[in-house]
Amino acid sequence: MSLPNRSGLYDPQYEHDACGIGFVASLKGKPTHDIVRKGVEILLNLVHRGACGCDPLTGDGAGILLQLPDAFLRAQAAQHGWQLPEPGRYGAGLVFLPKEKVARARCKQILEDKITGTGQRLIGWRHVPVDESSLGPVARESAPHIEQVLVGSAEATEKSFERKLFVIRKWAERTVREAGQADGSAFYMPSLSARTIIYKGLLLAEQLTAYYRDLDDPTMTSTLAMVHQRFSTNTFPTWELAQPFRVLCHNGEINTVRGNAAWMYAREQLFDGQVFGEDVRHILPTITPGGSDSATLDNVAELLMQAGRSLPHVMMMLVPEAWQNDELMPAHKRDFYAFHSCLVEPWDGPAALAFTNGKQIGAILDRNGLRPARWTITKDGIIVLGSETGVLEFPPEEVERKGRLEPGKMFLIDLELGRIVEDAEIKEQITSQQPYGKWIEQNAVRLEELPISPSRLPPITGDDLTLRQRVFGYTQEELKMLLTPMAQTGMEATGSMGTDTPLAVLSDEPQLLFHYFKQHFAQVTNPAIDPIREELVMSLDNYLGGEGNILLETPEQARMLHLSQPILTNDDIAKLRLGHKLTIGTPATVPMLFPIAEGGPGLKSALDELCRVTSLAIMNGTSVVILSDRGANEFLAPIPSLLATAAVHNHLMRNGTRMRCGIVVETGEPREVHHFCLLVGYGAGAINPYVALDTVEQLARAGQIPGVTEPETAKKKYIKAIGKGLLKVMSKMGISTLQSYHGAQIFEALGLAPDVIERYFTGTSSRIAGIDLDVIAEETARRHLHAFPKRTDLSNVLDFGGQYHYRAQGERHLWSPSVISNLQKSVRAEDASSYREYARLINEQPDGPITLRGLWEIAPGDSSIPLEEVEPAVEIVKRFATGAMSYGSISREAHENLAIAMNRIGGRSNTGEGGEEPERFIPDADGMSRRSAIKQVASGRFGVTTHYLVNADEIQIKIAQGAKPGEGGQLPGHKVDKIIAKTRFSTPGVTLISPPPHHDIYSIEDLAQLIFDLKTVNPTARISVKLVAEAGVGTVAAGVAKAHADLILISGYDGGTGASPQTSIKHAGIPWELGLAETHQVLVKNDLRSRVVVQTDGQLKTGRDVVIAALLGAEEFGFSTAPLVAQGCILMRKCHLNTCPVGIATQDPVLRARFQGKPEHIIRYFFYVAEEVREIMAQMGVRRFEDLVGHSERIRTRDTKGHWKTSRLDFSDVLRPAVAAPGVGVCKSKNQDHGLETSLDNELIRLCAPALERREPVSFKMAVRNVHRTIGAMLAGEVARRHGAAGLPPGTIRIEFSGSAGQSFGAFLNHGMELSLIGDSNDYVGKGMSGGVIAVRQPPTATYPAAQNIIVGNTVLYGATGGRAFLAGMAGERFAVRNSGATAVVEGVGDHGCEYMTGGCIVVLGPTGRNFAAGMSGGLAFVYDEAEQFQKYCNTEMVELEPVSSPDDIQLLEGLLREHEERSGSEKASSILADFQNNLKRFVRVIPIEYRKVLESQKKQSSATAAE
């Protein structure tokens, strides 16, 4: 019933799920069976948001929560001869029990014991009738035995009885777990309550009522029904992870769940008997092990509710709005959030949550509002809320109102009061329960308010500073390439190309412990955030001090020291040291040093001592401890600050005192963003990086920082850069607040010994073992000796470094001078011996290992075979592709050269994110084709038109990129020339921003939708999804396979880039060896491998690399840097500066002329690689390439005995072959079922034949429902295929739909198509629209006001490049995000409207949400600002606001209003036009500043040309 255990690289902790949620409730008070049926109907209409695994009859889970059906249960009880007490005096719940009888009896006995143990009464056990024949084989196999337990109350009130039922359940669960039942996890109670009951299981929606016969019973009644349809990455049978849970169900993902769970565990230690009395022992642990993120959140929400807070209150404290930066928010509400932020950090991540206590039912969206939630209220008091509109159909005239849930907002129905309580009302009520503002004011203190300390330390300077720098291993390169840019610009330094230095555990240079950790990032299952453009949701606030009991609510809980960001200056820490009586008391300083002569044992005892002294300080009442390495000297070396911090943090977590104390680290070690992220991630509340700050001060004084001479300014900028870097790293994981990131340990270790992980980095993923404390001490000792030389002061300078740029005396690089010169010589002179030398240098890594595969060797076969018997090279090269490098990041010459070469050998080149000139789709006269077979679709959607998509053999969805997973990109204006701008549908000279996430992929079911969209527009193309290796990528890949991708690409972290922050290049993601092995193992385990091609890339260079990748499970291979080197790249790492001297990564015509690459260079390279593959295959005795795939048992580890670091590595999990059950495929053998035959478009294409074939006008009408998705895209693809980019003449195809359309209505619409919709639509209307017209209006019979009606969902017109849309109602969040050419009129939009827009024109006739025009670099918007509020809602970083004055603009606006009126029947348009001259004054024109400048200079130029 539960998830399988860890095996190989699979780890159940990385399972994700997301889904569709919904509820229906009646305000009319009386429970009815109709509501139950409506609930089930919602589920049925959300089926497409769920998924199936390998077994099409087994879903990922579905369930329904109802009010306890008194009539039903009373009747059932009567049959058993039981007399039920009155409602509220008895409770019931389903119990999942072991099928095995003895175990079952024991479980039941335990539960009965707890019922009586809490003084309650067992009424009886009822058999729950189920029909197992309705289940799929996997579900049936794993189905539990299900009974229902009925419990009688011995309590005075319903509330205290409910609390007892909670205690019984928690107590019984734990007792069964601890009793170690053979099948302990088979005991599970979906609910036990006097108010609600849950029916759920590993079911498809349609199986729910068939399986649970109870649900069909007419006496099964309720006034509410909350339902959930699950889409999980796994296919393992997990009945208990189906939702709803006891108080909530969830669509999205809690990114911070590990930190939240850990902090909750720490907080439990502060529980006393004040709320639960004796029972407090029984309810722990709060969080049931093995739960999903949603289950964990439910555990905590339930506890806090049972402890006395109202459920809405609980939801507000766990999932707060973005309050820190919201100046529009009323003070008492901010105070509420501020107070509660002293109690608990936000549970952060995309979340639409529906919740209920049986009397109130509601929903809340997280601060980012990344999940859809639409509601409808009917005139007869039915309220429906769901992930989509149209989940229940009502005749328009019965609808009272429709709407959507907004970010951070709550929607609540009080069934006892029989009415909806609006967000403002419920929050007003909750936030004024207590004088939170007064509590904060009287108790909390801000750091700035503390007095200046007289004992602050002066900066360290001169030789002293150099000495300190040497102690911590600073290099010249770090000063120059990291610190200087930070202090100069206030931002992290940018670099380019991938990293090619050894992993820390492979390096012979002493490495900082920080470098053994890699950052996690969001991909597919949750979105990254843009911390710059969406700054309003981000916060670096944190608190120091001891916490109180979270079950209570007292003013003293606010006695905390508030920090607005975690980096402390030397003055700050001096202040802190003085202490503050009310909040932090007097901090204790504990030295984090160890005697260098004593090595590993000395380090170990110093860590023990550190923990002991900290505990002692806490016992003595200290609530802040400062770990300090200021005292380092010749004999005492600093303990690596990360080790010390994590050791203390986890020690205090373990002994239950973590919440009583804040940890501050005073250390010279951290200097780059990654270091600070780790310290915060492992528990530091604040950090004083004194050497980094003093270094910056010295650099400024020495005039080394261009433009910054004032040391204070330099330090401020440096701190700002760290802050921005922290925000960026957090947001890569989709985390908004530092408080949630704090202690969340969102990293994985690469090369640390299991005992180090277990003791100091508890819970961190670490899969290849590695160095122990002895080696950590040795690395410190090597730095120390260098810092304190005994004999010479020759080294009184810093080492150069060599991590970023190669230096002969520095770190090893895979791309060494001889590697590059040999490769170039081989392809230019057709010199196979130079290729062999190149391959030898890469494969053998003679100077020491750089990559994991450098530690491996391929076992020869029992008998080798003659080379001639091996599959020919011409076949092998077809498995090769070049990587996604956009035209824009590289020159046209370089881009086309790659395409020509790949087309000639039957491989594939990739457009990258930047579109492709349509001329290239047609072969040249000589038959040479410059068309890229792979068309990439990335988050910016640049150049993604219908025509582009239909000209692909493969469409690649780039979720992440190795060099900067979780981040967006930026093409600086200076690289955007005329042709690039044309290809990208933008303006020359204007900077182009790619958002961090795809705004149509916030979770796994969204990806399934995008895959469906793309497959629909081009059914012949393979759809591939590019992921980056990290722990858990296999589980994500399983989800992607279930979302029907045809190909999954696993990229290594070391892939290249045209520009990325250095932190990302070096420290995010892991080698492909690990990600690929995990992916293959998990896919085979789930029987999903046979449906997908697996490809890998990331610094693949040689035939041996290809063979290793194949043995780990890949069948196709991507190469980028190596073919670039073959055509002339010499790893300048200047791509981001446009100064590439060999004409590759530049758009400068002078430099482009220096490009000397030829297709032959690339072709020769790939054939050398293929021939090398063949030679290895011959030695192995393998004839067919396919027979390599997945045979990881053929890889052995090279002997590393005696090496000081690598000898401790353990690759057994990585190299463990995936075990395939009989009949399970281990490489791609069958096609995905995309379900295209069910698409409505098949019918549309049939009806439009005259237009498609003969360009004759066609028009017709059709009814639609929300299950009809991506309407029009297949037809649009057909138009593009037959009629090219220009499509059909305007209005050739006219279709009128009615009803609620499913997601992606009108996606990729093309010229000549006009779709109108009477009704409403879900998310992604007009996504990628290239031409044509969409009009949406409400039905004529509707009585609700159109202008306030949500007529289309979120992310409308995302990435549109053309066309027009007229929407007579309001739209959701992110309207016209990344629009580059569409024109639209809409009557109101949610948050982030026109975000990242680069072209087109948007008219908004009503209110906008916050952050309008963020990142908008082109195009125009006109906003009708009736309430004169718009300025507050607009992000004016990149745009200017002004009245509409030019005749051109007035004419444009009036024309659009008239067309809107005509096409959508808009009353709003009519009323504005009625007095247009007057109303014109209320329009605000929004124009990007950069765009305006470019337009003006263009205008000047063209008038100058005209004058000539």
Partner 1 sequence: MGKATGFLEFEREEIQKLPVGERLKTYREFELPIVQEQLVRQGARCMDCGIPFCNTGCPLGNLIPDFNDHAYRSDIEAAITSLHSTNNFPEVTGRVCPAPCEAACVLGINAPAVSIKLIEHSIADRALEAGLVKPQPSLSRTGKRVAVIGGGPAGLAAAQQLARVGHDVTVFEKSDRAGGLMVYGIPDFKLDKSLIAWRVEQMQAEGVTFRTNCEVGKDIDYSTLKSDFDAVCVAIGSKVPRDLTVPGRELSGIHFAMDFLEQQNRRVAGQAIPEHVSLTATRKKVLVIGGGDTGSDCIGTSNRQGASSVTNIEIMPKPPETRDSSTPWPQWPLMLRTSSSHDEGCARDFAVLTESFSGSDGQVERAHCVRVELKDGKFEKVAGSEFTIEAGLVLLALGFVYPQPEGLLEQLGATRNARGNLVVDGSFQTSVPGVFAAGDCQRGQSLVVWAIADGRKAARAIDTYLMGRTELR
Binding footprint of partner 1 on the chain (CB under 8 A): 476, 480, 497, 785, 789-795, 797, 799-800, 805-809, 813, 815-818, 820-821, 824-825, 828-829, 1130-1134, 1137, 1139, 1141-1142, 1150-1151, 1154, 1156
Q: Are 1005 and 49 in contact (CB under 8 A)?
A: yes
What is the nearest approach in angstroms of partner 1 to the Cβ of residue 488?
A: 11
Nearest to 405 by CA among 386, 379, 390, 420: 386
| Helix, strand, coil content of the chain in percent (nearest 5) | 40, 20, 40
Instruction: Compare residues 4 and 1141 and give the one whose CB is closer to partner 1.
Output: 1141
Cβ atoms within 10 Å, residue 808:
8
What is the nearest approach in angstroms of partner 1 to the Cβ of residue 714?
A: 17
Which of the residues 19, 661, 1227, 1394 is marked catalytic?
A: 19
Instruction: Compare residues 1030 and 1054 and give the one whose CB is closer to partner 1.
Output: 1054
Instruction: Compare residues 484 and 1417 and give the one whose CB is closer to partner 1.
Output: 484
Instruction: Compare residues 588 and 1131 and give the one whose CB is closer to partner 1.
Output: 1131
Burial pattern 1413-1452, b for ≥16 Cβ within 10 A else e, equals: bbbbbbbbbbbbbeeeebeebbbeebbebeebeeeebeeb
Q: Are 610 and 627 in contact (CB under 8 A)?
A: yes
d(CA 1297, CA 1301): 8
Edge-to-edge strand list for the sheet holding 62-67? 196-201, 62-67, 224-232, 17-26, 382-386, 374-378, 399-404
Instruction: Compare residues 13 and 1156 and give the one whose CB is closer to partner 1.
Output: 1156
Instruction: Compare residues 843 and 1121 and give the one whose CB is closer to partner 1.
Output: 1121
d(CA 1358, CA 1468): 24
DSSP 3-state assignment of 501? coil
Instruction: Compare residues 510 and 662 and give the one whose CB is closer to partner 1.
Output: 510
> What DSSP element (H or E) covers 41?
helix 33-45
What is the nearest approach in angstroms of partner 1 to the Cβ of residue 831?
A: 10
Half-sphere exposure of 632 (CA within 13 A, CB side): 32
- The radius of gyration of the chain from alpha carbons, rounded to an integer in Å, stands at 32
Instruction: Compare residues 328 and 808 and give the one whose CB is closer to partner 1.
Output: 808
- Computed from CA positions of residues 1079, 1081, 1082, 1088, in that sequence, does the dihedral angle turn out positive or negative? positive
Does the N-terminal peptide bond of residue 244 adopt cis geometry, omega within 30 degrees of 0? yes
What is the nearest approach in angstroms of partner 1 to the Cβ of residue 786?
A: 8
Instruction: Compare residues 533 and 1136 and give the one whose CB is closer to partner 1.
Output: 1136
d(CA 912, CA 882): 10
- Beta-carbon contacts of 217 under 8 Å, excluding residues fewer than 6 positions away, are 33, 72
Region class of 1291: left (phi > 0), else alpha (psi between -120 and 50), else beta: left
The Cα-based distances of 882 to 766, 788, 886, 1052 in angstroms read 31, 49, 11, 14
The Cα-based distances of 965 to 88, 958, 1063, 1068, 1097 in angstroms read 52, 10, 11, 7, 14
Instruction: Compare residues 1145 and 1384 and give the one whose CB is closer to partner 1.
Output: 1145
- Beta-carbon contacts of 616 under 8 Å, excluding residues fewer than 6 positions away, are none
Instruction: Compare residues 12 and 810 and give the one whose CB is closer to partner 1.
Output: 810
- Beta-carbon contacts of 30 under 8 Å, excluding residues fewer than 6 positions away, are 223
What is the nearest approach in angstroms of partner 1 to the Cβ of residue 495?
A: 9
Instruction: Compare residues 704 and 1479 and give the one whose CB is closer to partner 1.
Output: 704
| 1496 class by beta-carbon count within 10 Å (0-12 exposed, 13-18 middle, 19+ buried) | exposed
d(CA 270, CA 263): 11
Nearest to 1310 by CA among 1267, 1335, 1353, 1281: 1281
What is the nearest approach in angstroms of partner 1 to the Cβ of residue 1200?
A: 20
Residue 19: active-site member: yes
> What DSSP element (H or E) covers 1252?
helix 1249-1254
For the chain, first and last CA: distance in Å?
Answer: 81
DSSP 3-state assignment of 772? coil
What is the nearest approach in angstroms of partner 1 to the Cβ of residue 805?
A: 5
What is the nearest approach in angstroms of partner 1 to the Cβ of residue 1154?
A: 5
d(CA 1181, CA 1187): 10
- At position 1168, the amino acid (one-letter code) is Y
Cβ atoms within 10 Å, residue 418:
13
- Beta-carbon contacts of 1175 under 8 Å, excluding residues fewer than 6 positions away, are 867, 1103
Q: Are 374 and 386 in contact (CB under 8 A)?
A: yes
What is the nearest approach in angstroms of partner 1 to the Cβ of residue 1238?
A: 52
Nearest to 1013 by CA among 1386, 1302, 1350, 1320: 1302
Instruction: Compare residues 805 and 878 and give the one whose CB is closer to partner 1.
Output: 805
- Beta-carbon contacts of 37 under 8 Å, excluding residues fewer than 6 positions away, are none
Q: Kindly list the catalytic residues.
A: 19
